[in-house]
Amino acid sequence: SFQAPHQPGQPGFKFTVAESCDRIKDEFQFLQAQYHSLKVEYDKLANEKTEMQRHYVMYYEMSYGLNIEMHKQASSRSDSFCQALIANQREEEEEEEGDGSRETCWRIELGEGQQPSSV
């Protein structure tokens, strides 16, 4: 029902004021319907955007939490490894010190044992 607007100089297009008002009214209603349709689409997209941002934040927080947990576990493992290494090193040092003190005791005993017999 939409007709081309009147172009000056075109024969046969003579509109009355009532017809012109009706055409303007029809065009306005068409534009209002288009505006409403676009507004509904915009609102829908805005809601989707908000939902996507909410999901992004949720996934970011989960990812951050997992990252922190992985670092804690890695740190815990490296701490355990270092503690085991230190404990092993201490045992080796104690064994070496123990061997050295035993050798010293043996030398003293042998030396003392030999002194009376040699004198």
pLDDT in tens, 78-112: 888 888 888 888 888 877 776 655 565 555 555 55
Q: Is 1 helix (H, G, I), strand (E, B) or coil?
A: coil
pLDDT grade, residue 1 (50/70/90)?
very low
The tally of CA atoms less than 13 A away on the side-chain side of residue 49 is 6
pTM: 0.46
Question: 13 — phi, psi (to 5°)?
Answer: -110, 85
Q: What rounded mean pLDDT belongs to the chain? A: 81
